[in-house]
Structure 1
Amino acid sequence: MLAIFESLLPVFLLIALGAGLKAICLIEDAHWTGMERISYFVFFPSLLVHTLYNTDFAAIPASRSVAAYCIGLAAILAVALILRVPFRRLFGLDDPSYSSVVQGFIRWNAFVGLAIAEKIGGPAMFTVVALGIAVLAIPINIAAVSVVARLGSKSAEAGGTVRLVARNPLVIGTAIGLVLNFSGISLYAPFADAIELCSRVSLPMGLILVGAGLRFVLPRQAVAAAAATGALKLALVPLIYAGVAYGLGLRGEELIAIAVSGSVPTAMNGYLVARDLGGDAPLYAAIVTMQTIAAFFTIPLVVLTASYLAG
């Protein structure tokens, strides 16, 4: 267990660095916004393009991994629908607030997932997590935007969901990487090197921005709902993903990678969706913060359990 903690510690130290830099106001808020935009629109899509373009899908059980991700997500969405009435009764949530709970339950922070895979596994683990991004980016964004558009306090324009998803840089980067891979197109070497250089910036920058986005002053009424969402996200979601993967016969680093994908905290980009479509943005910020802090303790348990199952 200590070895797993030590392997994960650099990831969470970068998150803590981001939180510390934000707390001491070393960087102005406007500059943080600029860093978030360039990371979201340039660096992270570059990482997806570089990883997927260079992935040898024949070297991993791609079809079973894709099936595990898809079945797992379907099960998680079903749980989110089932929990709507109990959550509203237990925590007094209205529809906009519950839309933030759903986002906090189904989204995952790919920055953290890839960083963990890079630290504790080999190329196969990193590739399977990247494959998860490719598989889940579109359906998760469609599901999240649709739920917030339906339950939020602002009515969405017709076709707005499709346009929002189509403009998502993660979706665009995934599509470009897969097209380049399966078409056999070879990128001009200097251009490929430039994309790789951008991709190297993505993970450390992304982790620092995760920390900078945390909110440590939480609305009192949001704490209980955020804590319950975090408990389900960090315990139930990895169990679902790992259970499906195990049932499909995945073992080794592939199973651990899928469990890690489910174990990471939710992603901050859901905050923008909640804010723009009338969800409960303060509740979503509380959910992200509590999950990110708790994940330092829960992810090692998930990795340890998945390693045992992986054989």
Structure 2
Amino acid sequence: MPPFAETILVVFTLIAIGYGSAALRVLKPATGDGLSDFVFTIAVPLLLFRIIATASFDHGAPWALWAAYFTSVLVTWIFAHFIIRTGFGRDARSAVVAGVTAGFSNLVLLGIPFMTGVYGEEGLAILSQLVSVHMPVMMGASVILFEWALKRDGASTETKSVLTLVTGFLRQLFSNPLIIGIVGGFLVRLSGLDIPVVADRVIASLGSVAGPLALFAMGVSLQGYGIRGQVPQAVSLVVLKLMLMPAVALGMALLLGLPELQAKVVVAAASLPAGVNCWLIANRLGTGQRLASTSMTLGTAAAAATTGIWLMIAELVF
């Protein structure tokens, strides 16, 4: 069995154990929520802080990496928008949610332990360069496009000023624990100061549990969201997410001549299913929650097979 196949098996087994624990009521629902809160607000932010503060980024500025990845996001988002609008006759607001769902990879809860298992610390460092801009870009695009969709659907005649939109976006962004961890890591890196030994060991200890706990907590969360209807629409988004998006990322990696490991990481990242953030954005926008929930659940199950296929393709191509 190839090493990456073992990693895929371990990753999705941990998710399945979390799902089963929630389904069989082994854990109280509040326990699952507490685990998710710990992972999202403490363990993963500290892990990202330490990676960005201390990792060696040997490939220079990540402009080509970002270009390859976000081109795949853009193409997939556009296809999702028009499929939901034209193919299923949904409104523009639902199309925005569809775009987020099809283009928003689960780079944190799933991506961090997955990339660590497949490509090690160097792969995780490359992933952190994507994570550092991923959420701001996706949240910003969602806010702007949803304001447009509200007017397109005739659901709002209110015109928000640019200042209102920007301040609201920044408030959401900089209250996010992941962003706080990333910014803190950048500040320490720019300062040139070393993290004190005791503090570094504490941070490393808490960050080291992020991977397995994130996967377990993700399984618990998936059981809570589940399949909530709109299956045909959700399946179309899952196909775009798991097949079109990594294909575009692969093509862009070849076109831009990314170094081997960067190319493999960008394809692997694009092949990951959507995570809970797409549902959170849908909930914040007040529409498309069932579509996001069903897509997230079906996509995670299907990704156990499709992600392995894309890893094999990347190994052959690069």
Separation in 2, partners of 1:276, 1:27: 28
Contact 2:76 / 2:103 at 8 angstroms: preserved in 1? no
Compared CA separation, residues 149 and 188, structure 1 to 2 (3 A): farther
Point out where structure 2 has 5 or more consecutive residues left out of the alignment.
none
The amino acid that maps onto 2:122 is A
Q: CA deviation at 1:261?
A: 0.9
Paired position in structure 1 for 2:95:
98
Separation in 2, partners of 1:277, 1:72: 25
Paired position in structure 1 for 2:204:
196
Separation in 1, partners of 2:265, 2:68: 16
Q: Provide TM-score, normalisation by structure 1.
A: 0.89
The amino acid that maps onto 1:116 is F
Q: CA deviation at 1:104?
A: 1.0
Per-residue CA deviation, residues 184-205 of structure 1 (Å, 9 max, x unaligned), is: 1212211111111111111111
Verify: 1:181 aligned to 2:178, yes or no.
no
Q: CA deviation at 1:17?
A: 0.8
Per-residue CA deviation, residues 167-220 of structure 1 (Å, 9 max, x unaligned), is: 222222111112212321212211111111111111111111111122575233
Q: CA deviation at 1:141?
A: 2.4
Contact 2:64 / 2:258 at 8 angstroms: preserved in 1? no
Which residue of 107, 128, 137 maps to 1:130? 128
Paired position in structure 2 for 1:234:
242
The amino acid that maps onto 1:235 is M
Q: CA deviation at 1:83?
A: 4.4
Compared CA separation, residues 67 and 251, structure 1 to 2 (3 A): closer
Pairs within 5 Å for 1:240-255: 240-255=248-263
Compared CA separation, residues 29 and 151, structure 1 to 2 (3 A): farther
Contact 1:148 / 1:274 at 8 angstroms: preserved in 2? no
Compared CA separation, residues 25 and 199, structure 1 to 2 (3 A): same
The amino acid that maps onto 1:85 is F
- Deviates most, 40-49 or 268-277: 268-277
- Deviates most, 248-257 or 262-271: 248-257
SS at match of 1:219: coil
Paired position in structure 2 for 1:219:
228
- Deviates most, 77-86 or 293-302: 77-86
Q: CA deviation at 1:304?
A: 0.7
Paired position in structure 2 for 1:275:
283
Which residue of 53, 67, 72 maps to 2:69? 72
Q: CA deviation at 1:307?
A: 0.9
Q: CA deviation at 1:297?
A: 0.6
Verify: 1:15 aligned to 2:24, yes or no.
no
Paired position in structure 2 for 1:164:
172
Contact 1:271 / 1:281 at 8 angstroms: preserved in 2? yes
Aligned CA-pair RMSD: 2.3
Contact 2:76 / 2:99 at 8 angstroms: preserved in 1? no
SS at match of 1:121: helix
Alignment coverage as a number of residue pairs = 306
Compared CA separation, residues 8 and 98, structure 1 to 2 (3 A): same
Point out where structure 1 has 5 or more consecutive residues left out of the alignment.
none
- Deviates most, 9-18 or 251-260: 251-260
The amino acid that maps onto 1:108 is S
Compared CA separation, residues 24 and 145, structure 1 to 2 (3 A): farther
Paired position in structure 2 for 1:107:
104
Separation in 1, partners of 2:300, 2:60: 29
Q: Provide TM-score, normalisation by structure 2.
A: 0.88
